[in-house]
Every structure is written in structure tokens, then in C-alpha cells.
Structure 1
Amino acid sequence: MNNTAMTIMCLLPILAMTNMLLNQTHFLMTLLSLEGITLSLVLFVPLMLMNCSAPNTAMAVTLLTFGACEASLGLSLMVTMSRSCGNDMLKSLTISKC
């Protein structure tokens, strides 16, 4: 793998976390940012383990499993929040309004 691709793969988790910090208005955008973090880690962790000559298949499957669980839990929370509050804005999550 060439040096440019390796640099991009190493920057993906940082870019996903920056996106999470900057897009915190809607709950759906936060969930999408979390998915971006998870998917970038699915690519990043096996790549780093491959450089250390460690077996990486189980780690990738474990990360994908946690990503699927996180997505289903996040979508169920978003549906519950939109049914109870009427929107998916994160600012409406105070006890007095909702």
C-alpha cells in the first residue's frame, strides 16, 4: 500500500471525530457521524494490526458487530425521541421541554 493511501486511512478516524464534534444539531447527524467513526475504525484497526503482523480477522468482525449494534440502538433511540418530543433536535432533550 502506498504512502498516500496509508495517510488517508490514518486520517479517517480523526476526520470522523471532527465531523461528530461539529454536527451536533440533529440526532440523525450525530448517528451518522458515529457510523463514520465506526466504519473508519473498521478500516483503520486491521490496517494497523497488519503492520504489526498480528492476526486481524477477529478484530474486524468484532468492530462490525459493535457497529451494527450501535446503529440499531441509535435508530431505536431516535424513533423514541421523535415520538416523544416531536423532533430530532438535540437541544430539545431537556427534562422541562420533553
Structure 2
Amino acid sequence: MYYMDARNISKPQWTSAGLLGLLRASLPPTDRARAVASHANPPPERLDSDQIAEVASAWRDRSSFGDLGAESVAQALEMVARRRAEKQNRIQAMGKRLTDLMRLP
């Protein structure tokens, strides 16, 4: 009986984090990782909501020149800009609320 108990304890205990780490290590690098590693043509930085709104207005200007798809692209970009701005406002409000709570005695 004791031998069987000792044998069961020595079994490896796999966790999901350990298995996922092994799987990720075996995957080839992504295109972004390769581009950053080679420094040949790094991907552009993420745009904030104001920059996306500017790009949307540029696409809206293209629709005046007869580009039929430009209006829908502009609307989609404006929606993304609005959602990012709302998310940023929620994050700032939450941070302010946490700060206020920490100041309470």
C-alpha cells in the first residue's frame, strides 16, 4: 500500500498554464514578432481615438471624390474612435473612484 501511495505522488501534476506555455514555445513566431525582431519594417503603433477620428475624416473626404466604400469605412472608424474614447473615460472614472476610496479613513 505504501509503495502505491509513493508512486502516485511522484506523478507530474500538469497545470493549464504549464501546458499552454509549452505549446506557445513550440509555435513559430508571429508576423509581428518577426517584424519587430528584424527591425526591417516594424508595424505601426496603435492609434488613439483622436487619431482614428482624423483618419475617419480623411476617408470621408475621399467619398466626395466618388469612392463608394469610403463612407462606410469612415463610419466604422468613427465607431471605433467613439468606443475607445468611452473606454478611456470609464478607465479614468474607475481610477478616480479608486483613488477617492483609498483616501477615505
Task: Specify the TM-score bucket, using the shorter chain as the normaliser.
Answer: 0.3 to 0.5
Q: Which one has a bigger Cα radius of gyration?
A: 2
Higher relative contact order (CA 8 A, sep 6+): 1
Please, what TM-score do these two structures have when normalized by structure 1?
0.42
Q: TM-score normalised to the size of structure 2?
A: 0.40
